[in-house]
Amino acid sequence: MKINFSEVLNQGNEYRPFASQYLHYSCISVDDFDAKSKFSPVFLKEVGYGIKVGGEIKFNLTKYTQKNIRSLIKLLDIYLPNFSLVNTNQIFNSEEINCVVVKKQTAELECGDDIDSWTFGIISNGKRPEFIFKLIDSIIKQKIIHSEVILCGHLDKESEEEIKKRKIKFTYYEMSEFDSLGWITRKKNIVMENAIYPNVMVLHDRFILHDSWHESMKRYGNTFEVLACRNENGEGKRITDWVYIRNVFSKTKNHSVNYELLRPYLLDRRDWSRSSMISGGVTIIKKNCWSTVKWDERRFWIEQEDTLLSNLQQLKGIVPRYYSGAVVISLIKKGESIRPLQYSPGSNGIGVINFIRDSLSVFIKRNKTLRKIIYKDI
């Protein structure tokens, strides 16, 4: 099979050619690959899914030398760690290189990993038991063949007994330590540690699943690492879910920065960036990906713990994605004031117009009166 990278580039984050053809091809030939494109990690992951174990991807190159091929080799090392170079001698001993060939050594999905097996982890402080009931009922309504619910946090005895009346496997882990700070990183890790199934969805207790959530996930397919789905308010409007962080370093490393002045942008469903992140209210993740990068338990609620997670995942070669077809609904008003980032396949940042808007928003947020009027959900 042959793929021309430039012809599929406009699909961006929505590029899913092998969603139903996992481990299908023995060889895929790629023309016109651009290692500098922001979508190159997405493309590499997707093409990798389509190759059988023992199969090869051939990148056809024109006028490449040892010097300018390094960017491609680095991308392959990071995003296709389960592949190995085949034509090593040509790559490192020839002045001109016409192709790079990599061979698949292991499959991405573990044995027993299928789209009909899910663990749902609910993070709660126990203050909204009626929300928990609605969430669990929405999970049961999906009629998933193999599923379980793990609740980590606090739940009164009466609410626990009410949940146990429902026909679903339910496990409760009491965790109230540092609740005044919101130690949700520890709660999320407890869910992941105890999850039975390889597909895990971790939610705050303010969400419910749309009736068609699981059917939509089956259409998306089982080949993903970590995924954001569409978050909506009660009126069907999209709220904070898949975002672009202008300054990842400031959000994750520089603790002197006021994080509330570094507001994220809402990414288009087609868009992807090395500075993208999944909002922490809802995270869909493979358990083996969590084993590679876990939530940092030194961080508490709204200390950019989810920004750091997405950032570290990308450094480890895990590619966060967004799927707008699967929908969850927030039962409270939150995350509605986020500004959208205009989509452009060739753009890697916020652009001049959005930069001006961002600078203006910083000014507004420094003024307590303006901030209270404009950003009502802060």
Q: What is the mean pLDDT of residues 221-245?
A: 94
| pLDDT exceeds cutoff 60 at 300 | yes
CATH number of 117-373: 3.90.550.10
pLDDT(90) > 60: yes
Q: Secondary structure of the chain in the HEC alphabet?
A: CEEEHHHHHHHHHHCCCCCCCCCCEEEEEEECCCCCCCCHHHHHHHHHHCEEEEEEEEEEEEEEECCCCHHHHHHHHHHCCCEEECCHHHHHHCCEEEEEEEEECCCCCCCCCCCCEEEEEEEECCCCHHHHHHHHHHHHCCCCCEEEEEEEECCCHHHHHHHHCCCCEEEEEECCCCCCCCCHHHHHHHHHHHCCCCEEEEEECCEEECCCHHHHHHHHCCCCCEEEEEEECCCCCECCCEEECCCHHHHHCCCCCCHHHCCCEECCCCCCCCCEEECCCEEEEEHHHHHHCCCCCCCCCCCCHHHHHHHHHHHCCCCEEEEEEEEEEECCCCCCCCEECCCCCCCCCCHHHHHHHHHHHHHHHHCHHHHHHHCCCC
pLDDT at 205: 94
Among 12-21, 209-218, 353-362, the range scoring the smallest mean pLDDT is 353-362
pLDDT in tens, 152-163: 999 999 999 999
pLDDT for the residue numbered 105: 98
Return the percentage of the chain with pLDDT > 90, whole number: 65
Mean pLDDT across the stretch 162-174?
94
- Average pLDDT on 302-312 reads 86
97-144 pLDDT per residue, tens: 788 999 999 999 998 899 999 999 999 998 899 999 999 999 999 999
What does pLDDT average to over the chain? 87
pLDDT tens digits for range 34-45: 998 999 999 999
- The predicted structure's pLDDT at residue 254: 44
pLDDT digit string (tens) for 316-350?
999 999 999 999 999 998 878 788 888 877 765 55
- Residue 99 to residues 28, 37, 102, 246: CA-CA distances in angstroms? 13, 19, 10, 35
Residue 17 has pLDDT above 50, yes or no: yes
* Global pTM value: 0.86
Please, which contacts does 158-162 make with residues 24 or more away whose CB atoms are closer than 8 Å? Answer: 159/126, 159/129, 159/132, 159/133, 162/129, 162/133
Please check the confidence at residue 228 and state whether its pLDDT lies above 80.
yes
- CATH number (1.10.3720.10, 2.60.40.60, 3.40.50.150, 3.40.50.300) of 2-104 reads 3.40.50.150
pLDDT in tens, 244-298: 876 554 444 544 344 454 567 899 999 999 888 999 999 999 999 999 999 999 9
Between 29 and 362, the higher pLDDT residue: 29
Ranges of each domain in the chain = 2-104, 117-373
C-alpha angle with apex 239: 244 to 271, nearest 5 degrees? 35
- Please give the Cα distance from 219 to 19 (Å, whole number): 8
- With cut-offs at 50, 70 and 90, classify the pLDDT of residue 63: low
